[in-house]
Amino acid sequence: MLLSDWLPLSEIPDQGVKYFFQDDSRWILLWEKFGLDCGMEKSLVSNLEVLPQPDGVYFRGRIQGQVAMTCSRCLEPGTVDIDYNIDVYESFEADPEDPPGYSPLKFEDGQWWFSPEQLAWEHFVLALPDKPLCSGDCKGICPACGENINTGLCACPEESFDPRLAVFRNLKINR
């Protein structure tokens, strides 16, 4: 089964069903499609349990793996561990503020369908850090010369000062 398949909910038994996905090529295609700059370090594994409810569907599972991303401080390659729990309820009632195609559920041909790929992708993106780091103690780059401070000190004077703030240099605050 391809992750992009829409599956009919009518074929899911009341006790639910479990899905297991581990296809690196599908993740890489999604990264390319959405312009996400990352690479596969350790295969992403997605476990998903689908539990039909009277007025919606309950999804629970987990995404685990490791991806390569550029550090937002020093711009060097780094790795991001992914370990994200999925625990979401999707109602059959559509939210009028949601754009079309937003939900992993759709009603078509008189029945409800769901997309495991869309659900896994949404939660993978939520698992990514806003600012990926190569390590927790990354010092970044020098704002003056651009040298990576993690590899050593740059040749810039230690006290660099923004000339636009020179007026504040001799400011004295009395308490």
Q: Check pLDDT > 50 for residue 3.
A: no
Asked if residue 122 has pLDDT above 80, the reply is yes
∠ CA 150-155-157, rounded to 5° = 110
Q: How far apart are CA 123 and CA 63, in angstroms?
A: 8
Q: Take residue 90 and report the two structure tokens written for it.
A: 């999707």
Taking alpha carbons only, the member of 34, 14, 33, 19 closest to residue 120 is 19
Q: Which pLDDT score is estimated for 96? A: 59
What's the pLDDT band for 80 if we cut at 50, 70, 90? very high
Q: Given this model, what pLDDT does residue 71 score?
A: 94
- Report pLDDT for 145: 84
* The residue type at 154: C
CA dihedral 134→137→142→146, nearest 10 degrees, is: -10
Break the chain into its structural domains and give their ranges: 7-138
Model-level pTM greater than 0.75?
yes
Put the strands of the sheet holding 17-21 in their side by side order. 17-21, 39-53, 56-70, 77-91
Query: What is the reported pLDDT for 69?
Result: 95
